Amino acid sequence: MPFTLFYSPGACSLSCHIALEESGLPYERRRFGSTDGGTESAEYRAINPRGRVPALRLEDGTLLTEAAAILGFIAEQVPDKKLMPAHGTLDYARAREWMGFLASSVHPAIRSVFRPDKYAEGDAAKEEVRARGRRWLATYYSDIEGRLTGQQYALGDAFSLVDAYLVVFHKWSARPLAQPAIPPMPAFDAVMSRVCARPAVAKILDFEAAGAKDR
């Protein structure tokens, strides 16, 4: 049995979907929507009690969660593809730094803008959460832009799965709820043009945009 990716179109699971396609490994995928009740369903909770995507089921039935962990795991299955820098190098630490920042700072800020209902009740409280989230987004996206200025890819001259993870945050930044907070990002846009032109990335973006349910 190949790996099975549990994903929701356009969610952070997009990064792992791209990673699997880049890896060339055989995989299956199952869609559980994060905004239509799919991830909250009893069927999905039985698969992943955390009720979030992404999740990756391995050949032996083990379930792995958390996008950053899944990205690292996929890269390690295909070391020749060099989807992540070698362990023990500063580049590897830099990749972990990017992933930690995206997962623990930028993602929660985005969540407070897209899903304030997860943090507050009542319209006024939700708007306050959203407004504060937007202030964080302005700071974080300026930080991303600064780090990407002068770079071909997040880690320098070579594509890595950090770039696959950044695709998610670039797509989210274009959504109307986030847009008012997002500064001009010419460097981020240029890196993403390069990344999204990769055949594997373009294929998965098309697939998720079409909302297709099968491979």
Ligand X SMILES: N[C@@H](CCC(=O)N[C@@H](CS)C(=O)NCC(=O)O)C(=O)O
Q: Which residues 46-105 are close enough to bind ligand X by CB under 6 A?
A: 51-54, 66-67, 103
Q: Is 85 helix (H, G, I), strand (E, B) or coil?
A: coil
**Residue of minimal Cβ distance to ligand X:** 52
CB of 157 to ligand X, least distance (A): 27
Helix (H) or strand (E) holding 27: strand 27-31
Q: Which residues contact 77 (CB under 8 A, 6 or more apart)?
A: 23, 25
Exactly one of 4, 5, 7, 11 binds ligand X (CB under 6 A); that residue is: 11
Stretch that binds ligand X, among 45-53, 79-87, 186-194, 203-211 (CB under 6 A): 45-53
For residue 106, the tally of other CB atoms under 10 A from its CB is: 23
CA dihedral (189, 195, 197, 202) positive or negative: negative
In whole angstroms, the minimum distance from the beta carbon of 85 to ligand X comes to: 20
Binding part of the chain for ligand X, among 20-28, 34-42, 77-85, 135-143 by CB under 6 A, reads 34-42
Distance between CA atoms of 196 and 198, rounded to whole angstroms?
5
Does 167 sit near ligand X (CB under 6 A)? no
Judged by DSSP in three states, 5 sits in strand
Q: Which residues form the interface with ligand X (CB under 6 A)?
A: 8, 11-12, 34, 39-40, 51-54, 66-67, 103
